[in-house]
Amino acid sequence: MYRAGVVNPVRSAQRSETGGCDARGWLARLRGPLPPHRHTARTIAALTRNPGCHRRALLDSAGVDKQRLARQVGFPARVGQSPFAIARSAAFAAQVTADGGAELLRLARERLGLTISEARYVDLRRPDHPLAAAGVEAQAADRAAEAAPLEDAYAATRATISDAVRRGDAGVLLDHPTLRLEVAGQPAYLEPGPLALAAEGRHHVITIKSFAILDGQADPAKVSAAAIESAVYVLALRHLLADIGHDAELVSPEVLLVCPRDFSNQPTAAVLDVRKQLGVLRRQLARMARVEALLASLPPDLTFDLAVDAEGVPTRPPEELAAALRSVAARYTPECLAVCELAYFCRQEAAGTTAALGRSVQEQLGGVESVETVLGLASGRLTPQDEQAEVAALLRAAARLRAEALSAAAPRTEEQSEVRRP
Amino acid sequence: MSTLTALARVQAVAAGVAQPIATVRHVHLAERPMVVVPLTLAGEANAPLAAMVGADPDAPRLLIVPEPRNRDLRFAFAAELAAALLPYIDAHCGETELVAADRGREVRHRYRDAPQVLVPNTASVSFLRLLGRSTRFRRTDGAHAVHPSVPLLGQWLTFLAERAEYPGSSLLVAMTEALALHWATGQSALEDQNLAALLGWIDPPPGRSGAEAAALAEDPAVWPPAGPLTDPEFDRTRLAPAIAEYQAAADERARRRAYATLEELLRSQLAPTWELMWRGVARLRRLPPGERVANRWAVDRTAFTEYADYVRSGESRPQPRRDGAVAAAQRLDRWERAQASYAAQRAYDDPLVLADYRLTGEAFAGVVTAAQPDRVDDRGKRPVLRPRIEVVTEDWMPLRPGAVVYSPARPRQRATVVSVTPRDGATAVVLELAGGMGRSLTAPPGSVPAVGEWVAYTTLTDEYRPPAAFPAPEETPWTHGGPPVGDELTEQDADEDWS
């Protein structure tokens, strides 16, 4: 679905001949000299929304900082969490993991059908972890930080779980584990993760969220976001188990979601089955691993390098960056506004398309892509091509009915308002 | 989303301004609606932060909670909201009228008017529902005693929020929904949830296109969000420091000063939405009401009367946390019948809504080309009047002989399709009519469409449908959890923990 003119088959062929296009080198060139932007469970979860978007797949594979890129091209994303929400969520998490996670264990027994009376609580929080103090804002800085301490943290998590399994511990509750997941050939470190519970031969992911479960019900949008995020952790934990030579399937697809009950601070829990989300996630990660196919069709000099100067200020002209972005096809839908940092740029670009009005609008208009074409076909100004005949007839009928109803209503409307005036 | 509405959206893009998708108003608008614009603190389940309330556009009442995480202050807010809302509700428990109930076997009284609460968006409806849930079980004595108006407010908010789910009800209305029912913008339905952007498309300021007005409206610095959530940037840079200042106030003077600062801050976030609400009301008022809007308002008034009488009986109990199996099934059944009736009524009232059904083949319209108004069918025991008319329509006509259709102009008359014949690129439909013509064998003038008259017919009907039969709650079958155990309400409900 690349735009015409972007693909140059001759050039693509040459490139693969020279063999100089190993994906990693290409992705690094696309990103420029900045270190790759690190994935979090949230950004990985976001990959599963709109998987057909090549632009996002490419930028995420290359580890480009989309937030900065969007700002530089003049379409900053409106992201950010209220400090009140951050504080509440941190306070709740701290509260339920207090006392060695006794409360969590109780909930795990209740909901997961475990019988263990106690579990060893191990806190793997890195003492130098910026999140330990500064909240989510520090994440951006952390993501750009070196991978070495993260790899160490992952090793520590792995060792702890490996030990527990070897010794046949009755139960181990791991707080702040660091998990690892390959995204487009790059390791992504997930922390501060949820909790991992190894008990009775099985492994469970425990996700703590601060939205309320009220009278047994919670906001479906938030639950589904939590489910896909939890699936990221389940997948990463499965990789870890495989890594230490155990059966990955020992990680249960049933995740314990812990939330405040009703209007209180008291925790309650629900079990989320994330099997479906795991499937979606695996498919999308597999697609991103095949990013070579995407790269082959790109202009060889393409880069999203912001050309940051000594002070860290991007110097790359916005028009140049915008042109680079436009050379990779996007698949904008209004839902992107909530999940992708580049959405406002893509929305601007999608102006005049029916997709910008929402998927259902486009479907109702028989999949016709441009607003101009819809209006042309509806008015009869545009002669439909063969495959458009059916949709053209529908649009003409719709236009006729709209015009007829509006003109019939015009005199009637006035008459009625006359009658109804007291 | 119908194809006609999708086309209207595309037309709005080209025109730069929203396009009508209704020719009459389908929501009831009270003479004096009560506007409520609530704000909540991010991250909490239901922590009121502020509200702008009132029935007079020029005299809004501002309520704020200087420390939303303080339980007592929350309930003080609820009491203030009750002081604004309950007298407004009570004011409608005055004049009554008598109406036939139970198909004429009974006479009941009904209040001539009912309260109407308008909020900016569906998230605000949810906020009021939660506020109702959090206040209706409170107790007015004991350790956590609240003002007596608080649980009452909870009952009324719960009642209103439940009605808001009922198709065609206008007791509690989200402005974005009401506007989107009548206009299609050149943006997506998702973006229409922003009230400022939606009104920007519908009613752009002079010299600006709807698209420009909507783009401006997305900047939270220019148009603060219509709530209930505030802009995170506002929370960080303005609200958090102001709340901290209030908490840190060393003496009464400092506390009053901090309170005043907070008040001004929250007013600045609420006032733009307050203006938008009344602009929305004014825009909607310019549309003439649909013919059946008054009928639906009467249903609302009946529901209001019943609940008000129940509350005033002094025996009222807060609504349970969750419906039992039977109550849930009954609610669903009521909802489905209301939904079907609402769809039919809107199509009958509005040719533009009917056009949606004409496009999908569930309705057709055309000119009467032949009529036998006095045709009598005497094949049965008794001769009956069964006029026939022929309608030529250009609409797509998938209906087959035997199909039963109704005309908005003569809703009591059944028309059965007798034949469907293609003619010169159009379709000739012969209909046999029954009902709505009196008892004699001669049709009264006007009761049968005359040659040359433009008529519309649809398969949609607003005929009375009796409720489905359900067992009594105590006979709930085991497949549905069996009879409910004991009374749902306990002391614990009142002592519920509050963070």
Is B192 in the A-facing interface, judged by CB distances under 8 Å? no
Of B1, B42, B394, the CB nearest to A364: B1
B156, exposed or middle or buried, with CB in 10 Å at 0-12, 13-18, 19+? buried
How close does chain B come to A205, measured CA to CA in Å?
23
Burial of B380 (0-12, 13-18, 19+ CB in 10 A): exposed
Q: Which of A401, A404, A420 to mutate to test the interface with B (most CBs of B within 10 A)?
A: A401
pLDDT at A192: 63
Q: What is the least distance, in Å, from the CA of A73 to any CA of chain B?
A: 17
Could B44 and A88 be called an inter-chain contact, meaning their C-beta atoms sit closer than 8 Å? yes
Tens-place pLDDT, residues A354-388: 999 999 999 999 999 999 999 999 999 999 988 89
CB contact under 8 A, A406 and B23: yes
- Identify which of A266, A274, A145, A138 has the alpha carbon closest to the alpha carbon of residue A205: A274
Which pLDDT tens digits describe chain B residue by residue (499 residues)?
899 999 999 999 999 999 999 999 999 999 999 999 999 999 988 999 999 999 999 999 999 999 998 888 999 999 999 999 999 999 999 899 999 877 778 899 999 999 999 999 999 999 999 999 999 998 888 878 889 999 999 999 999 999 999 999 999 999 999 999 999 999 999 999 999 999 999 999 999 999 999 999 988 888 999 989 999 999 999 999 999 999 999 999 999 999 999 999 999 999 999 999 999 999 999 999 999 999 999 999 999 999 999 999 988 889 888 888 888 899 999 999 999 999 999 999 999 999 999 999 999 999 999 999 999 998 988 899 999 999 999 999 999 999 999 999 999 999 999 999 999 999 999 999 999 898 888 889 999 999 999 999 999 998 888 888 888 888 888 888 888 775 555 555 555 655 4
Question: What is the number of CB-based contacts under 8 A between chain A and chain B?
Answer: 162
- Asked if the peptide bond before residue B66 counts as cis, ω within 30 degrees of 0, the response is no
Question: d(Cα A145, Cα A131) in Å, to the nearest integer?
Answer: 13
Report the gap between the CA of B163 and the closest CA in chain A (Å).
Answer: 20
Residue A419 in this model has a pLDDT that exceeds 60: no
Q: Read off the amino acid at residue B308.
A: A
Instruction: Name every chain A residue with its beta carbon within 8 A of the beta carbon of B6.
Output: 354, 357, 360-362, 364-365
| Strands A120-123 and B172-174, sheet pairing | unpaired
Question: For residue B323, what is the nearest residue in chain A, using CA coordinates?
Answer: A215
CA-based nearest residue in chain A for residue B241 = A83
Which residues, 6 or more positions from A76, have their beta carbon under 8 angstroms from its beta carbon?
A67, A70, A344
Of B20, B43, B220, the CB nearest to A85: B43
Determine the Cα–Cα distance for residues B203 and B194; give it in Å rounded to an integer. 14
With CB atoms and an 8 Å threshold, state whether B359 touches A401. yes
Helix axes B122-135, B71-90, angle to 10 degrees: 110
Which of B229, B230, B352 lies closest to A406 in CB terms? B352
Per-residue pLDDT, A32: 84
Residue in A79, A84, A219 to test binding to B, most B beta-carbons within 10 Å: A84
Specify the long-range contacts of residues A289-294, CB closer than 8 Å, at least 24 apart: A289/A182, A289/A184, A289/A185, A291/A23, A291/A27, A291/A57, A291/A58, A291/A61, A291/A184, A291/A185, A292/A21, A292/A23, A294/A54, A294/A57, A294/A58, A294/A61
Q: Which residue of B has its CA nearest to A355?
A: B188
Residue A272 in contact with residue A257, Cβ under 8 Å? yes
Check pLDDT > 50 for residue A7.
Answer: no
In this structure, the number of other CB atoms found within 10 A of the CB of residue B430 comes to 18
A5 has pLDDT over 50:
no
Strand, helix or coil for residue A383: coil
Site from B5, B70, B75, B188 to mutate, A interface, most A CB atoms within 10 angstroms? B188
Whether the CB of B189 is below 8 Å from some CB of chain A: the reply is yes
What does the pLDDT look like over B148-203, one tens digit per residue? 999 999 999 999 999 999 999 999 999 999 999 999 999 999 999 999 999 999 99
Q: Distances from the Cα of B356 to the Cαs of A199, A375, B308, B359, in angstroms?
A: 58, 18, 38, 5
pLDDT of residue B476: 85
Q: Taking 80 as the threshold, does the pLDDT of residue A352 lie above it?
A: yes
pLDDT, position A416: 39
Which of B44, B188, B358 is nearest residue A358 as measured by Cβ atoms? Answer: B188
Sign of CA dihedral B96, B97, B101, B105: positive
Residues of A in contact with B355 (CB under 8 A): 401-402, 404-405
Q: Which of residues 294-323 of B touch A (CB under 8 A)?
A: 321-322
Q: Using CB atoms, which residue from A85, A364, A401 is nearest to B6?
A: A364
- Taking an 8 Å cut-off on Cβ atoms, the answer to whether A88 and B43 are in contact is yes
Mind telling me how many Å the CA of A340 is from chain B's nearest CA? 15
**Residue-wise burial string across A133-156, b where 16 or more C-beta atoms lie within 10 A, e elsewhere:** eeebeebeebbeeebeebeebbee
Do residue B6 and residue A264 have CB atoms under 8 angstroms apart? no
Q: Is B458 within 8 Å of chain A by CB? A: no
pLDDT band at A135 (very low <50, low <70, confident <90, very high): very low
Q: List the structure tokens of A331.
A: 């698949």
Angle between helices B71-90 and B149-164 (to 10 degrees): 70
The span from the CA of B89 to the CA of B157, in Å, is 11
b/e map A210-222, b = 16+ CB within 10 Å: bbbbbeeebeeee
Does the pLDDT at position A4 exceed 70? no
Residue B229 distance to chain A (closest CA, Å): 10
Nearest Cβ partner for B20 among A82, A264, A406:
A406
- Which alpha helices (H) appear in A40-147, and where do they start and end? 41-47, 54-62, 66-72, 83-112, 131-134, 138-144
Chain A residues with beta carbon closer than 8 angstroms to that of B497: 262-266
- Tell me: pLDDT of A193 over 70: no
On whether the CB atoms of residues B433 and B421 are closer than 8 A, the answer is no
Alpha-carbon distance B294 to B276, whole Å? 26
Window from A13-22, A214-223, B378-387 with minimum mean pLDDT: A13-22
User: Residue A83 is nearest to which of B4, B6, B240, comparing CB atoms?
Assistant: B240
Which residues in chain B have Cβ-Cβ distances shorter than 8 Å to A404?
351, 355
